Amino acid sequence: MANSSARPPRSDRRRNHERLLAVATDLIACDGAGVSLEEIARRAGVGSATLHRHFPSRRALLEEVFHEGVERLCGRARELGRDDPGTGLATWLEELTLYTTNNRGLATSLMSGAGELPPEDTCHGMLLDAADDLVARAVEAGVARPGVSAADLIVLTNAISLATEGDPATAGRLLRLALEGVHP
Amino acid sequence: MANSSARPPRSDRRRNHERLLAVATDLIACDGAGVSLEEIARRAGVGSATLHRHFPSRRALLEEVFHEGVERLCGRARELGRDDPGTGLATWLEELTLYTTNNRGLATSLMSGAGELPPEDTCHGMLLDAADDLVARAVEAGVARPGVSAADLIVLTNAISLATEGDPATAGRLLRLALEGVHP
DNA sequence: ACAATAAATGGGGTGGTGCTCCGTTTGACC
DNA sequence: GGTCAAACGGAGCACCACCCCATTTATTGT
């Protein structure tokens, strides 16, 4: 499937990619996802054209920045699904909310499901897959109503993080509210 | 309280204010809250300085654009609180969500509660007041758990609108999910 | 070791933005 | 009408995303 005639990337390319990613991670963590791309390039010591060559859109950059953390969250979902089908979903959603709330910009990155990148190694796709399984188990265990979909839950936690960005306490409270419901 | 020595605004000021507001309303409705302020000024036929003189921040502009609709929603809250304390809250939240989802940008405008403007004629403040009463009646009627606060509910609906912007169907579904809860 | 070559780079240009001076116009009031 | 503060608008500033193209650099074959 992959074009095997492609030569491995040059060493300077790899080096710059790493540098950009590292700087972007730092800057996004402290200033949010709206940070200036020029600034990232500047601090990484590369021209702005190089940044745009490596990451054709802000979205693409964010996807790579958060890839590792999202992968960890997916692993955690598998773990919880295996060990604790009962409260696993709730626990995972709480962890997800905490992560997206603390990583200003992930929520933004998750927003638009469809993009120009490959279908299912976007953060959104990865989390969706992980959640699907967890939700199925939860419904099976009778701790989640049959109607709920993983997609909706992802969007909901995403929404909460987006609106409470930087305030984990409120985010957690809203998530629990949504899980328990407003009606008694 | 208000400085009564202030002269009434000049006619051209009033005219420009109206024009700007009208153009902004149209443009925001079709392009979202991020629309270019320059563009608004251009289409209103005024210099960009004039726009900034009338609305010192984007936030201030959004507040005025949505003021009327928000006031209507507040009236509706009083109405529902009076007539139907039972399902009034749920109905109102649904209407609120529908409105904020259809008016791209209101959610953005509601986000930051505290600003540089007067405390309680911001959209956020107005809705908060209206919701407070409605929530109190709902708790009293036993249809809402005692823990829930109006502020949290506003943020929650706001979050949903923000994350589903432009998709009322999803927004409604998520709201109902949050009202009923994930657990059975 | 070195030449050939494609890959990768970065400076500078373009067109856009939000915002602010400051000289000029204009409406209101006598 | 004349006066004067109120209001205006264009030009200017700093910043941004994004792109073009001449130049540099890593790799590979000899």
pLDDT tens per residue across span B57-68: 999 999 999 999
Specify if A80 maps to a domain.
yes
Is B111 or A50 the better-scoring residue by pLDDT?
A: A50
Name the nucleotide nearest A11; use CA and C1': D26
> pLDDT of A61-115, one tens digit each?
999 999 999 999 999 999 999 999 889 999 999 999 999 999 988 888 777 655 6
The verdict on A77 and A167 lying in the same domain is yes
Question: Which residue range(s) make up the domain with B51?
Answer: 9-55
The verdict on A111 and A160 lying in the same domain is yes
Within B84-167, residue ranges assigned H as helices are 88-102, 106-111, 123-140, 150-163
Average model confidence (pLDDT) for chain A? 91
Name the nucleotide nearest A42; use CA and C1': C10
The verdict on A51 and A129 lying in the same domain is no
Stated in angstroms, how far is A43 CA from C10 C1'? 14
CA A146 – CA A131 distance, rounded (Å): 15
- Here the CATH number for the domain that contains residue A18 is 1.10.10
Would you call B95 exposed, middle or buried from its count of C-beta atoms within 10 A (0-12, 13-18, 19+)? middle
CA B151 – CA B68 distance, rounded (Å): 21
> pLDDT of B117-144, one tens digit each?
666 789 999 999 999 999 999 999 999 9
pLDDT at B117: 66
DSSP class of B182: S
Residues near A12 by Cβ (< 8 Å), separated by ≥ 6?
none
Specify if A2 maps to a domain.
no
pLDDT at B7: 85
The verdict on A130 and A71 lying in the same domain is yes
The verdict on B167 and B144 lying in the same domain is yes
pLDDT at A6: 75
Is B102 or A2 the better-scoring residue by pLDDT?
A: B102
> pLDDT of B38-61, one tens digit each?
999 999 999 999 999 999 999 999
CA B90 – CA B102 distance, rounded (Å): 18
Q: Widest CA span of chain A, in angstroms?
A: 62
CA B151 – CA A103 distance, rounded (Å): 24
* HSE toward the beta carbon, residue A68, CA cutoff 13 A: 5
B107 contacts on A by Cβ (under 8 Å) = 163
pLDDT at A85: 84
Would you call B60 exposed, middle or buried from its count of C-beta atoms within 10 A (0-12, 13-18, 19+)? middle
Q: Which residues of A touch B (CB under 8 A)?
A: 89-90, 107, 111, 142-145, 147-148, 152-153, 155-156, 158-160, 162-164, 170, 173-174, 177-184
Q: Is the confidence at residue B114, as pLDDT, over 60?
A: no
The verdict on B49 and B71 lying in the same domain is no
pLDDT band at A121 (very low <50, low <70, confident <90, very high): confident
The verdict on A49 and A62 lying in the same domain is no
Average pLDDT of span A45-49: 98
Asked whether the beta carbons of residue A182 and residue B179 sit closer than 8 angstroms, the reply is yes
Structure tokens at B133: 């009463």
The verdict on B18 and B106 lying in the same domain is no
How many domains does one find in chain A? Answer: 2
Min Cα separation B147/chain A (Å): 9
Name the nucleotide nearest B52; use CA and C1': C19
Average pLDDT of span A154-166: 92
B177 contacts on A by Cβ (under 8 Å) = 147-148, 152, 156, 178
CA B11 – CA B13 distance, rounded (Å): 5
Specify if A4 maps to a domain.
no
The verdict on A36 and A63 lying in the same domain is no
Min Cα separation B69/chain A (Å): 21
The verdict on A108 and A65 lying in the same domain is yes
Specify if B163 maps to a domain.
yes
Min Cα separation B1/chain A (Å): 35
Asked whether the beta carbons of residue A184 and residue B111 sit closer than 8 angstroms, the reply is no
Q: What is the 3-state secondary structure (H, E, C) of A99-155?
A: HHHHCCCHHHHHHCCCCCCCHHHCHHHHHHHHHHHHHHHHHHCCCCCCCCCHHHHHH
Specify if B2 maps to a domain.
no
The verdict on B43 and B126 lying in the same domain is no
pLDDT at B6: 77
For residue B94, the Cα-to-chain-centroid distance in whole angstroms is 14
The verdict on B48 and B86 lying in the same domain is no
Specify if B3 maps to a domain.
no
pLDDT at A7: 82
Average pLDDT of span A4-33: 92
Query: Residue A178: which of B180, B145, B111, B149 has the closest Cα?
Result: B180
Would you call A100 exposed, middle or buried from its count of C-beta atoms within 10 A (0-12, 13-18, 19+)? buried
CA A3 – CA A26 distance, rounded (Å): 33
Specify if A1 maps to a domain.
no
pLDDT at A111: 77
Residues near A138 by Cβ (< 8 Å), separated by ≥ 6?
A85, A86, A88, A89, A144
| Partner-chain residue, chosen from A89, A152, A162, that has the shortest CB–CB distance to B177 | A152
Specify if A48 maps to a domain.
yes
Q: Is the confidence at residue B116, as pLDDT, over 70?
A: no
Structure tokens at B15: 């005219």
Q: Is the confidence at residue B171, as pLDDT, over 60?
A: yes
